[in-house]
Amino acid sequence: MRKLNHIGIPTEKVMPDEIHMEDAKLFVTDFNESPNRIEWLRFEDGSEMPEILKTTAHIAYEVEDLNAELKNAAEIVLEPFQPNPDLTVAFVLEEGAPIELMEYKH
């Protein structure tokens, strides 16, 4: 079962307390610090992230089994990666929108 975690919104505006993800050429805010669970994403020139993630808001869900979710995905936009040791994420396309699937280690 999916549990809503946050909404990610691309922006060109510098946001307070951005975190720089150098390898992805990306600045993000911490959705845990947002009362509305918004994650702002600002991409640097030359970022190799998929274009749809640079231009379209995404919905993020926590899932129990990321591999099982990906088996049912019609289109994988970004293969699984670990932004930190306790979290694996992937992006898929559903209903024309990017969806982030997040599996936390328990």
Question: DSSP per residue over the chain, as a string?
Answer: --EEEEEEEE-SS--TT-EEEGGGTEEE--GGG-TT-EEEEEEPTT--S-HHHHHS-EEEEE-S-HHHHHHT-SEEEEEEEEEETTEEEEEEEETTEEEEEEEE--
Residues 82, 94: Cα–Cα separation, whole Å: 22
Residues 5, 81: Cα–Cα separation, whole Å: 17
pLDDT tens over the chain, length 106 residues: 899 999 999 999 999 999 999 999 999 999 999 999 999 999 999 999 999 999 999 999 999 999 999 998 889 999 999 998 999 999 999 999 999 999 999 7
Q: Tell me phi and psi for residue 84, to 5 degrees.
A: -155, 165
Q: Does domain 3-104 have CATH number 3.40.50.300?
A: no
pTM of the predicted model, to two decimals? 0.94
